[in-house]
Structure 1
Amino acid sequence: MNSIKLAYHKITNWEYWPYQIVYFPIYFQYLYYVLRTKSFFYFNASNPTIRNGGFLMESKKEIYDLIPQKYYPKTILISKSDTVNTILEKCHLENIIFPLIAKPDVGLRGTAVKKIINKEELKAYHNRANFNYLIQNLIPYSKEIGLFYVRYPNQKEGTITGIVEKEFLIITGDGKSTMEELLLKNPRFAFQIPVLKTELKEKIYQVLKEGEQLNLVPYGNHCRGSKFIDTSHYITPQLTETFNQICQEIDGFYFGRMDIMFESYEALAEGRNFEIIEINGALSEPTHIYDPKHSLLYGWKELTRHFHYMYEISKISHEEYNNPYLSFKDGLKEFKKHHQYYDVILKF
């Protein structure tokens, strides 16, 4: 598949368009809410226990600390100053074993998230990581979704507004083609070849046996080749009741997307056989919009709907519960930190 065909695929599928275009109507909506709240950073109050409401520079470890341990995998925070031996000792104490997942404590759309197979890969990751990061046990379930949850601070019960299932970057061998050739057969996968060449090196030229499957990116991230499928039809009263109970155990969480790995929708609705990968706050997207079957107009409708939820939640949180809006001065400082961090993590 040549570069012209890939470019055409990007142009004709809006899920790949720059966010500045996709979010164009939201800019005007945001400015309207700024005038209503008299704050450029009103979203800070949407999730009052999460830094900046989860809009930027929020620590994943601090969010995990809000969640009961039974709902997420064993997780440890690694500092840039830690040695590899210290990290291995921490893993031993928490019963975290290889293979494991490493990811930045302050994330950026899946950048620098990596499955680590052994001590040598861990050492290589640590030497490159000029940022604090998390190490987690692999979650033993095969399915992954993003479940968007909304609850007003003055109400006991909330609602699930959308579910996206994530189809991983899995290739199937034919006994003749190299992994690179198999990737080239799917435009979504072909976009990932430059990154995968860096990660896999010579392995990318191996030939898989006929019928052999290989998951090259074992986490559901759109920018790493996962396909997003809208499975909101799985929202049921039972599932909603289950997540009302779960989210009420997470202090100060009212708006955001929970990324979850699970066994089946039936078990999930019953509150069993699942683990929360992470919780995303005010910057969360209702990612079910990126299902290829949806139009851009549908995407705009869902984005404006969720942005309105965030505004209403922030306003109630501020007016009825005295949760402050971030000041303009402090907000600019946070954006400056964010852009500095952005430059660091993109060099990984």
Structure 2
Amino acid sequence: MKLKQWYIKLSSWEYWPMWILYVPVFIQHFYLSIRARSLFFFLKVNPAITEGFILSDEKHTTLKLVPESLKPKGFIISKNSSLSAIKTLLDKHSILFPIIVKPNVGFRGLSVHRCENEEELSKIDFEKATYLVQEYIDYPVEVGIFYYRYPNEERGVIPSITLKEFLSIKSDGTHTLSELIKEKPRAFLHYKKLKEKFSKQWDVIFPDGEEIVLEVIGNHNRGTKFINANAILDESLLKTFDELNTKMEGFYYGRFDIKTKSIEDLKQGKNFKILEVNGVGAEPTHIYDPNYKLIDAWKELLFLWKVTYKIALENKKKGEEFPVFSDAKKRYLHYKNYKKIALTH
């Protein structure tokens, strides 16, 4: 089993260690840092985000930048909160099950839960981290929209659009669920977890044509297939996000994770909710499309990191000061310690 999983990962760069993808960016960063006279210019790309390092934006804080009508109902749970206290907050905010529970500072889908009822909620360990609770948005389309705008310009750019295909399997009416999972590489990489999750249905043969959703969290780390959807970009979609960005003072660069009834609705600026706002550490996730070439992914990342440099310099002209080493180090160590403690359970 391990040999087969190893081969699947080896044959597709989307599963390779993250550092391989970012080696060229690291090299470019030092060159840009010399020009900017700061190793940490990237911390001033979005002046409205004053906490965190690259991957440690607080979800609840960044969502505050979004108009209330465009985000799910939600609230923060402090460490060691009791189940009764959480139920009280659910009632206060008029949130019904199912709900989404995730660390307020997350990392690639780790420790994200969809809870169908109180019993599932009670199984979550709230001792190590602060969590964000959100209502579940039951829209059929999940999409990632990467957007940036230079502070001295009125219009922005959308360089990346990603559609998400949740991990699922269609039954052929002949093979058991376990046999179907073994034959689908993307699912087989999560064999152990899926065997535990679907223990009661593991040896069941489902009716021919029935689709079994294996994972409801739309994250690449949990089996979601990312599809390059840049072709759907048009003037109406860009207009929607230009108008949104005018309401987000101090935010110029990042990715919006969105659920919507349809792409056409999103283009018209209706029937969508922004689940998360990811800042300077955001990725143009269309590059993880299985058909995307590594060399092209490198080009995308190098281009976008140069964009961060240009935005940071424009913000500096407007009066922003680049962080000193001690401040940047403090922010980095805070996230490093948080990840070690909170995201390993």
- TM score, norm. by length of structure 2: 0.95
CA deviation profile, 1:8-43 (whole Å, cap 9, x unmatched): 221121111111111111111000111111211111
The answer to whether structure 1 residue 344 and structure 2 residue 341 are counterparts is yes
Q: Which amino acid aligns with 2:108?
A: R
Unaligned runs of 5+ in 1: none
CA distance in 2, matches of 1:86, 1:257: 32
Give deviations 1:202-251, integer Å, cap 9, x for gaps. Answer: 45444433322222222321110011110101110111011100121112
SS at match of 2:214: strand
Residue 74 of structure 1 deviates from its aligned partner by 0.6
> Aligned partners of 1:199 and 1:326: how far apart in 2?
45
8 Å Cα contact 1:166/1:229 also seen in 2? yes
Question: 2:288 aligned with 1:290, yes or no?
Answer: yes
Aligned residue number for residue 254 of structure 1: 252
Evaluate the alpha carbon distance shift between residue 203 and residue 79 of structure 1 in structure 2; reply closer, same or farther with a 3 A threshold. farther
Aligned residue in 2 for 1:106: 105
Bigger shift: 47-56 or 102-111? 47-56
What is the CA–CA distance in structure 2 between the aligned matches of 1:229 and 1:10, rounded to whole Å?
18
Q: Secondary structure at the match of 2:123?
A: helix
User: Does 2:167 align with 1:187?
Assistant: no
Instruction: Give the counterpart letter for 1:104 in structure 2.
Output: P
Shift of residue 52, structure 1, vs aligned partner: 4.7
Deviation at 1:57, TM superposition (A): 2.6
Matched, 1:330 2:302: no
Read off the aligned partner of 2:47 and give its amino acid letter. P
Superposed CA RMSD in Å reads 1.7
Aligned-pair distance for 1:252? Answer: 1.3
State, as a whole percentage, how many aligned pairs show the same letter.
Answer: 37
How far apart in 1 are the matches of 2:232 and 2:290? 18
Task: Report deviation, 1:334.
Answer: 1.6
Tell whether the 8 Å contact from 2:52 to 2:332 is kept in structure 1 after alignment.
no
Structure 2 spans left out of the alignment, 5+ residues: none
Alignment of 1:74-93 (within 5 A): 74-93=73-92
- Encode CA deviations 1:28-65: one digit per residue, 9 max, x unaligned: 10001111112111111101111357623321111111
Shift in alpha-carbon separation, 1:198–1:40, aligned structure 2, 3 A: farther
Partner of 1:43: 42
Question: Which of 127, 131, 134 does residue 132 from structure 2 map onto?
Answer: 134
Structure 1 CA distance, aligned partners of 2:30 and 2:224? 33
CA distance in 1, matches of 2:130, 2:173: 42
Please say which of residues 167-176 and 130-139 is displaced more in the overlay: 167-176
Q: Which has the higher helix share?
A: 1
**SS of structure 1 residue aligned to 2:320:** coil
Q: Secondary structure at the match of 1:194?
A: helix
Aligned 8 A contact 1:47 1:53 in 2: no
Please give the TM-score of this superposition, normalised by the length of structure 1: 0.94
- What's the CA shift for 1:201? 4.5
- Go from structure 1 to structure 2 and tell me whether the alpha carbon gap of 1:329 and 1:159 turns closer, same or farther (over 3 Å shift): same
Aligned residues: 345
Aligned counterpart for 1:165 among listed residues 163, 166, 171 = 163
- Counterpart-to-counterpart distance in 2, 1:198 and 1:111: 17
- Rounded to whole Å, the distance in 1 between the matches of 2:274 and 2:240 is 14
Change (3 A) 1:82 1:37: same
Moved more, 43-52 or 208-217: 208-217
Are the equivalent residues in 2 in contact too, given 1:109–1:221 (CA < 8 A)? yes
CA contact (8 A) 1:53 1:281 kept: no
More displaced, 23-32 or 46-55? Answer: 46-55
Cα pair 2:53 2:332 within 8 Å, conserved: no
| AA aligned opposite 1:39 | S
CA contact (8 A) 1:54 1:281 kept: no
Alignment deviations for residues 277-326 of structure 1 (CA, whole Å, 9 cap, x no partner): 101110011111111111111011101111111111111112x2212222
How many Å apart are 1:128 and its aligned residue?
Answer: 5.2
Query: Residue 271 of structure 1 aligns with which residue?
Result: 269
**Range that drifts further, 3-12 or 239-248:** 3-12
The 8 Å contact of residues 54 and 280 in structure 1, kept in 2 or not, is answered as no
Distance of 1:272 and 1:59 partners within structure 2: 26
Contact 1:172 1:211 in 2 (8 A): yes
Counterpart of 1:31 in 2: which secondary structure? Answer: helix
Cα distance in 1, alignment partners of residues 129 and 205 from structure 2: 36
Look up the SS of the partner of 1:307 in the other structure. helix
Choose 51-60 or 293-302, whichever is displaced more.
Answer: 51-60
Report the AA paired with residue 27 of structure 1: F
Note the alpha carbon deviations across 1:136-191, whole angstroms, 9 max, x for none: 11112111111110101122211111101111011223344333322222111111
Distance 2:9 2:166 in 1: 19
Return the match for 1:312 from 310, 313, 326. Answer: 310
The amino acid across from 1:196 in the alignment is L
1:199 is displaced (CA, Å) by: 4.0
- Name the CA distance, whole Å, in 2 between partners of 1:281 and 1:124: 31
